[in-house]
Amino acid sequence: MNYKIALIKGDGIGPEVVGEAVKVMDAIGEKFGHKFEYVDILMGGCAIDAVGKSYPEGTAEKCKECDAVLLGAVGGPKWGHSTDPDKRPETALLSIRKDLGLYANLRPAALRPALAESCPLKNDKNIDLMIVRELTGGVYFGKKDRYQTEDRGEEASDLMAYSEKEIERIGRRGFELARLRGKKLASVDKANVLETSRLWRQVMHRLAEEYPDVQYEDVLVDNAAMQLVRAPGQFDVVVTENMFGDILSDEASMITGSIGLLPSASIGDTAPGLYEPIHGSAPDIAGQDKANPIATILSVAMMFRYSFDLPAEAQAIEDAVDAVLNEGWRTADIAKPGETAVGTLKMGELIREKL
Ligand code: NAD
């Protein structure tokens, strides 16, 4: 089969980790007889430098001509200060999610067996959960305001809104994924305080009746944060709104060892889906051959599984990563003190060799 993939390498370590992921895709292509064509797309800080806008005109259209999008990371201190949205890299991230209709963000957090000792938790090392984060609604997309008051100085507000339709479509994704995994779904909200959460819970309870085979529970977000470090093994699929998902998925990532290991998928009802590591552009290590490329390489495995329905190819990548880790190879972020670390290029090469 032939596949056309949009590459948004972005800023900082983005081009380095995407570079290794592309070489892995080519190795899979050779092994399984697929052909991958790549389309480079400028987005983020590098686009601000080149054309004055983080999200150049036509970005979404170019992506829509492809079967899937692979993103490195965008942003960095160089572009962090502008108040002009066109000159902020994050604007591009929010825009592309909206324009491609990517309302569901799937973030697996699984402790790779070879790295059990990197897990900071003492007891529960049986971690294999998937956070399903709503990605195009809630407070990140609500109306923003800033105004002067007569007696309280300046005031700012961010509106948090969710519609029944938005909750239902992400809720269904949660139930469907739970069916494919351990048949357990935790829905995280703050229904004791937020009206959006009370609507969220009402819709989720209605859906739960349609999925009697899935064991369902409501968890308040503060409790969820606590349970994730107390006993993460209790969770299978966790579905939640945009901001809670943003925060909880970073927490979940750290209990599995390193942010450099975790992939993510953002999908909607139509192609293309967007696949990216959960980490950012890591400006502190950019250009030094220190970045761990595994999160981006595992994002390609998610692309194969969810966009192309190629489970054997996805499994081959995951097995290659585990084989390299089992042999004791580590990048600096996952090496124990005193252990020798390999660089980005070498880690990519080792994984390709296993394929
Ligand atoms: P970050 O994820 O870039 O870095 C946090 C820490 O983790 C740093 O110490 C970094 O060196 C380390 N790290 C991250 N990825 C790594 C990897 N693959 N291998 C080894 N170490 C790794 O988060 P940050 O420092 O908060 O943000 C830096 C920039 O990235 C900011 O401009 C931010 O806006 C942007 N960002 C972009 C995205 C995205 O493009 N989706 C996501 C998060 C942050």
Q: What is the pLDDT of residue 224?
A: 98
222 among known catalytic residues: yes
Q: What is the pLDDT of residue 323?
A: 96
Of ligand 1's atoms, which has the minimum distance to the CA of residue 10? 40
How many Å apart are CA 109 and CA 92, to the nearest integer?
26
Higher pLDDT: 348 or 127? It is: 348
Pairing of strands 144-148, 154-158: antiparallel
Tokens 């084989």 belong to 323
Q: How confident is the model at residue 81 (pLDDT cuts 50, 70, 90)?
A: confident
How many Å apart are CA 353 and CA 327, to the nearest integer?
13
Nearest CA to ligand 1 atom 16: 260
Of ligand 1's atoms, which has the minimum distance to the CA of residue 13? 18
Q: Please give the average per-residue pLDDT across 12-21, as a whole number.
A: 98
Residue (of 1, 2, 5) closest to 39 by Cα position: 5
Sequence length of the chain is 355
Q: Please give the average per-residue pLDDT across 237-243, as a whole number.
A: 98
Pairing of strands 68-73, 128-134: unpaired
Residue 132 has pLDDT above 70, yes or no: yes
Q: How confident is the model at residue 44 (pLDDT cuts 50, 70, 90)?
A: very high
Of ligand 1's atoms, which has the minimum distance to the CA of residue 333? 20
Residue 116 has pLDDT above 90, yes or no: no
Q: Please give the average per-residue pLDDT across 267-283, as a whole number.
A: 94
Q: What is the pLDDT of residue 245?
A: 96
Q: What is the pLDDT of residue 80?
A: 81
213 among known catalytic residues: no
How many Å apart are CA 73 and CA 277, to the nearest integer?
8
Q: How confident is the model at residue 113 (pLDDT cuts 50, 70, 90)?
A: confident
Distance 157 CA to ligand 1 centre (A): 27
Percent of the chain with pLDDT over 90: 86
| Phi, psi (deg, nearest 5) at residue 10 | 75, -140
| Per annotation, catalytic residue among 103, 140, 275, 306 | 140
Q: Please give the average per-residue pLDDT across 292-308, as a whole number.
A: 96
Residue 295 has pLDDT above 90, yes or no: yes
Q: Please give the average per-residue pLDDT across 159-183, as a whole number.
A: 96
Distance 10 CA to ligand 1 centre (A): 12
| Per annotation, catalytic residue among 103, 246, 290, 306 | 246
Residue 229 has pLDDT above 80, yes or no: yes
Residue 2 has pLDDT above 80, yes or no: yes
Q: What is the pLDDT of residue 122?
A: 65
Q: Please give the average per-residue pLDDT across 15-36, as a whole number.
A: 98
Average pLDDT score, the chain: 95
Residue 344 has pLDDT above 90, yes or no: yes
How many Å apart are CA 291 and CA 276, to the nearest integer?
14
Q: How confident is the model at residue 156 (pLDDT cuts 50, 70, 90)?
A: very high
Residue 275 has pLDDT above 90, yes or no: yes
Q: What is the pLDDT of residue 250?
A: 86
> Are residues 100 and 268 in contact, defined by beta-carbon separation less than 8 angstroms?
yes
Q: Please give the average per-residue pLDDT across 38-60, as a whole number.
A: 97
Measured from CB, residues less than 6 Å from any atom of ligand 1 are 13, 17, 73-76, 90, 93, 259-260, 276, 279-285, 291-292, 295, 333
246 among known catalytic residues: yes
Q: Can you give the pTM of this predicted structure?
A: 0.91
Of ligand 1's atoms, which has the minimum distance to the CA of residue 77? 32
Distance 145 CA to ligand 1 centre (A): 28
Nearest CA to ligand 1 atom 26: 280
Q: Please give the average per-residue pLDDT across 168-172, as a whole number.
A: 98
Residue 240 has pLDDT above 90, yes or no: yes
Residue 120 has pLDDT above 80, yes or no: no
Residue 182 has pLDDT above 90, yes or no: yes
Q: Please give the average per-residue pLDDT across 138-165, as a whole number.
A: 96
Q: What is the pLDDT of residue 40?
A: 98
Q: How confident is the model at residue 259 (pLDDT cuts 50, 70, 90)?
A: confident
Distance 235 CA to ligand 1 centre (A): 26
Q: How confident is the model at residue 26 (pLDDT cuts 50, 70, 90)?
A: very high
Q: What is the pLDDT of residue 111?
A: 85
Q: Please give the average per-residue pLDDT across 248-260, as a whole number.
A: 84
211 among known catalytic residues: no
Residue (of 352, 343, 350) closest to 286 by Cα position: 343
Nearest CA to ligand 1 atom 8: 282
190 among known catalytic residues: yes
Distance 66 CA to ligand 1 centre (A): 26
Nearest CA to ligand 1 atom 34: 75
Q: How many CB atoms are closer than 10 A to CB 77?
A: 11
End-to-end CA distance of the chain: 19
Pocket test for ligand 1, best of 278, 279, 331 (most atoms within 8 A of CB): 279
Q: How confident is the model at residue 266 (pLDDT cuts 50, 70, 90)?
A: very high
